[in-house]
């Protein structure tokens, strides 16, 4: 897709969102899809599917420090439509975001839902994956592994998997301070690898410092994904304005984008969830 004609706001398709400057406003746009059997089980509550569809898109806006304006929905008609609409309404009210429009289709086979979220930048320049600087400290918000445990059936963590909360407030507070930021959707290790690649640096992670949910294996939790927490870098000595845990450092780019407990990781394959 990078060979196609790209708008400058597409950021080379190397970020989670497009950034469009329109007069005095900077708009942030993102689009995510969810497919039955890949992102949700065939027996999933469609209200949870709708909630998660909204939340995952808003999580991308959160990583840009954006304030949501509205969403466009691509809805595949089928069983559970009323439940889907109920979940969509609940998410819209919870995150103060309105439906702008979209389209409905009827299709046979796998159900696929798409959502485009539109936001307004709360700070410019808008954070990206590219800005991490040598000497920066690496942070994450929240606790990783809760969604994995919820998927595995742990009752106390079901909501973390079914109905994640995008870190919109945290992203807006962090936007003026971070050198780089993205959300953790595909696993901490893979997303840190991507951030390091984009920033042309090496990120060194101390796994003992990573906040892991009780009952989850650290290695699994760092690869599983679906956490929708924020991964960001701050200049050394800068105190984050939101609760966050320091987990590593940004180092000069060596032959590996990622170092995990001193071990070099040169290939992103197997570090997390990839759509291939």
Does residue 86 lie in a domain region?
A: yes
- Cα separation, 63 vs 28, in Å, equals 11
Write the CATH number for 65.
3.30.1330.10
146 with 43, same domain: the answer is no
Which tokens go with 35? Answer: 């497919």
111 with 152, same domain: the answer is no
Q: What is the pLDDT of residue 1?
A: 64
Alpha helices, DSSP H, located in the chain: 46-62, 81-95, 146-151, 158-162, 168-174, 188-199, 218-224
Nearest in space to 66 (alpha carbons), one of 16, 101, 32, 115: 16
- Cα separation, 81 vs 47, in Å, equals 9
- Cα separation, 21 vs 30, in Å, equals 15
Tens place of pLDDT per residue across the chain (276 aa): 667 766 666 665 577 899 999 888 999 999 999 998 878 888 899 999 999 999 999 999 999 999 999 999 999 888 889 999 999 999 999 999 999 999 998 877 788 899 999 999 999 999 999 999 999 999 999 999 999 999 999 999 999 999 999 999 999 999 999 999 999 999 999 999 999 999 999 999 999 999 999 999 999 999 999 999 999 999 999 999 999 999 999 999 988 999 999 999 998 888 887 655
User: For residues 166 and 59, is the Cβ–Cβ distance under 8 A?
Assistant: yes
Helix-then-strand count for the chain, H and E = 7, 12
CA distances from 76 to 44, 50, 52, 56, 250 (A): 15, 12, 16, 18, 43
Q: Residue 63 sits in which domain range?
A: 8-121
Q: What is the pLDDT of residue 114?
A: 95
pTM reported for the whole predicted model: 0.93
Dihedral through CA 160, CA 83, CA 31, CA 69, nearest 10? -90
192 with 108, same domain: the answer is no
Which residues is 22 bridged to in the sheet? 25
Q: What is the pLDDT of residue 126?
A: 96
Q: Which of 95, 121, 147 is the last residue of a domain?
A: 121
The domain total for the chain is 2
162 with 223, same domain: the answer is yes
Does residue 131 lie in a domain region?
A: no
- Which residues lie below 8 Å from residue 241, measured CB to CB, with a gap of 6+? 173, 174, 177
- Which residues lie below 8 Å from residue 177, measured CB to CB, with a gap of 6+? 234, 238, 240, 241
Q: Which of 65, 96, 121 is the last residue of a domain?
A: 121
15 with 116, same domain: the answer is yes
Q: What is the pLDDT of residue 121?
A: 97
Rg, the chain, Cα only:
18
């Amino acid at each position: 897709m990078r060979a196609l004609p790209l708008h400058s706001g597409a950021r080379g398709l190397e970020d989670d969102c497009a950034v469009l400057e329109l007069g005095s406003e900077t708009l942030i746009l993102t689009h995510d899809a969810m497919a039955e059997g890949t992102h949700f089980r065939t027996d999933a509550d469609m209200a949870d599917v709708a909630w998660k569809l909204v939340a995952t898109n808003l999580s991308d806006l959160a990583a840009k420090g954006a304030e949501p304006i509205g969403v466009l929905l691509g809805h595949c008609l089928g069983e559970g439509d009323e439940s889907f609409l109920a979940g969509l309404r609940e998410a819209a009210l919870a995150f103060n975001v309105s439906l702008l429009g979209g389209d409905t289709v009827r299709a046979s086979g796998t159900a696929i839902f798409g959502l485009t979220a539109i936001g307004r930048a709360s700070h410019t320049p808008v954070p990206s994956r590219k800005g991490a600087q040598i000497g920066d400290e690496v942070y994450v918000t929240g606790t990783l592994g809760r969604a994995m445990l919820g998927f595995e059936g742990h009752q106390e963590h079901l909501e973390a998997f079914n109905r994640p909360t995008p870190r919109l407030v945290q992203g807006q507070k962090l936007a003026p301070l971070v050198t780089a930021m993205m959300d953790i959707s595909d696993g901490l290790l893979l997303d840190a690898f991507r951030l390091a690649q984009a920033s042309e640096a090496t990120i060194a992670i101390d796994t003992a410092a990573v906040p892991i949910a009780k009952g989850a294996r650290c290695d699994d939790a760092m690869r599983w994904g679906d956490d929708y927490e924020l991964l960001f870098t701050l200049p050394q000595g800068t105190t984050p304005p939101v609760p966050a845990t320091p987990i590593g450092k940004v180092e000069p780019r060596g032959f590996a984008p990622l170092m995990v407990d001193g071990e070099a990781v040169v290939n992103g394959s197997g570090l997390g969830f990839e759509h291939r």
